[in-house]
Amino acid sequence: MKNMKMTALTATAALLAIAGVAQAAPAELNIYGASAQYTYWNAQGQHYASSRLGCTAGAAVNNGGKHGFVSATNCTSTLVPVNAATGHRDLDIRYSGIASAEGVLAVSKQAPQDATLATGCNVANGERLMYASSSTLVCKQVHVGTSDVAGESLAQNSSGQKLGPMGGGAFSASFSGVSTAGLTPNNTVVVPFGFFVNSAVTAKTCTAGLVGNYCLANTDCDTAPANATGTCGAAATITNISREEAAMIFSQQVGDWSDLGSYFTAQPVVACLRHAGSGTHATLDLAVMNTSWGAGIATSESAGSVWFNQGSGDEIKCINGATTATPTGSLIGAIGYADGDQAVGVANTSQNVKQLKYNGFYPTRTAIRNGLYDFYSNAWLYTNGPTTGLAADLVAYAQDPANVPASKANYWAAVAEMKYNKSADNTYPAYVGASIPMLP
């Protein structure tokens, strides 16, 4: 009888060795960090699970724009261990988008800047509060930390309310770079950033002749001598911002929109910024403001004309003119910046938020990879020690432009398709040649 039991145990062990080690719960891939990458990794989590791992993947469950969860069951890939409770290969993919610095801090097992992010969690084990499978937040070990910039580029500071005009209590953040020592870095996709404005920010532009130019009179729109007379149209929501205008606004050099030209409707400028620790904020600082030749970025809240916000969703609410916990928006002179594909969300709502062109172009995938648009960063995925298993497979999958989820394909580019790219967060793009070219 003993030999029969041992034989059965040996056979079971052999099966488990073939199938992967079983566990009494779904496997987990917990990703944490950059707010701007929140919608991308929620979409990619579902896409990766179904297309790469052969799972039946449910839609991403969204908790207030900060925590997401994808349930994947009946996977065919042996990278996913067997769930002993179901006998199938099941996987839970989580993504929490808070701020880039928090992704690096979590995966390197350091305390968060905001202590509430790890209430009751084992910080020494790299745990943070993440989505369970419903609206409950539970402590989970972070396997991958994301950042929009290299950890060492997070060298900004800010102070004000945590959630800008929404309140949230006093909050300050100061970074001189977040060490990535002991972490393995991986670049996967390019994060497209863009500017957004409240629809009340209006100016007069030419509707004939020098179409798009600002104007006060028809003669301002005339083309070359002896050509057709132009037409100056009525004031409408602006559609473009230049680098110079952005530098002046976010360094507090202008207090009223008419300071940028009397063709703007006069009203106070309300600058919405992200708190320090945000990779979006760091990219604005390094790629747009660039203090070596530009202007220093604002660092503290200023009587309602400058607001700092914790997450990308909070930033959009600020631009929308939010002043309460359940905002309906106000028509104010607000402007801010966020991941470019926020345009999809604001276009599908009744918010007072419009996406702007930057130096004449929107932050589209084709504009970014072809050298027309430079307000972007290379996404970083960090692991503690070597990148292995599901994390390594996800990195390889995301690096291929063919695997960008369809819902993100207009904005997000994979690193392999970039014809022009930055060698560092504070350098200007240069020609690199795409290892996997895409058209156009």
Give Cβ neighbours of residue 7 (< 8 Å, ≥ 6 apart).
none
Q: Do residues 293 and 247 lie in contact, with contact meaning Cβ atoms separated by under 8 Å?
A: no
Please say if the pLDDT value at position 11 is more than 60: no
Which contiguous run of DSSP H or E holds residue 26?
none
CA distance 377 to 340: 12
Q: Which CATH architecture has domain 19-155+173-191+375-431?
A: 3-Layer(aba) Sandwich (3.40)
Collect all residues with Cβ–Cβ distance below 8 Å to 329 and sequence separation of at least 6: 320, 321, 322, 351, 352, 353
How far is 152 from 377, CA to CA, in rounded Å?
A: 14
| pLDDT for residue 23 | 78
Residue 131 in contact with residue 68, Cβ under 8 Å? yes
Q: What class does CATH assign to 192-203+239-369?
A: alpha beta
Q: Which of the four pLDDT bands, split at 50, 70 and 90, describes residue 292?
A: confident
Q: What is the mean pLDDT of the chain?
A: 92
User: How much is the pLDDT for 324?
Assistant: 63
CA separation for the pair 162, 13 (Å, rounded): 52
Strand, coil or helix: what is 177? coil
- Condensed to tens digits (0 to 9), the pLDDT of residues 348-365 reads 777 899 999 999 999 999
For 318, the 3-state DSSP assignment is helix
Residue 18: which pLDDT band, with cuts at 50, 70 and 90?
very low
pLDDT digits over 363-389, tens only? Answer: 999 999 999 999 999 999 999 999 999
Closest of 202, 214, 195 to residue 238, by C-alpha: 202
Tokens 């995938």, residue? 365
63 vs 159 pLDDT, higher one: 159
The residue extents of the domains of the chain are: 19-155+173-191+375-431, 192-203+239-369, 204-237
Q: What is the pLDDT of residues 101-155, one digit of tens each?
A: 999 999 999 999 999 999 999 999 999 999 998 889 999 999 999 999 999 999 9
What 3-state DSSP class applies to 367?
helix
128 closest CA partner among 150, 96, 99: 96
Residues 80 and 148: beta-carbon distance below 8 Å: no
The predicted-structure confidence for 224-255, as pLDDT tens digits, reads as follows 766 778 999 999 999 999 999 999 999 999 99
What is the distance between the alpha carbons of residues 15 and 11, in angstroms, rounded to a whole number?
A: 6
Write phi, then psi, for 47 (nearest 5 degrees).
Answer: -65, -45
The least confident of 98-112, 169-183, 313-327 is 313-327
- 14 falls in which pLDDT band (50, 70, 90)? very low
Q: What are phi and psi of 375, to 5 degrees?
A: -90, 80
Residue with tokens 């002993």: 84
Instruction: Tell whether the model's pLDDT for residue 326 goes beyond 70.
Output: no
Long-range Cβ contacts of 169-173 (<8 Å, 24+ apart): 171/114, 171/275, 171/308, 171/310, 173/101, 173/113, 173/275, 173/276, 173/277
Do 192-203+239-369 and 19-155+173-191+375-431 fall under one CATH topology? yes
Helix, strand, coil percentages in the chain from 3-state DSSP, rounded to 5: 25, 30, 45
Direct distance between the N- and C-terminal alpha carbons of the chain, in angstroms, rounded to an integer: 70
Q: What 3-state class would DSSP assign to 208? A: strand
Rounded CA-CA distance 288/361 in Å is 15
Q: Residue 348 in contact with residue 194, Cβ under 8 Å?
A: no
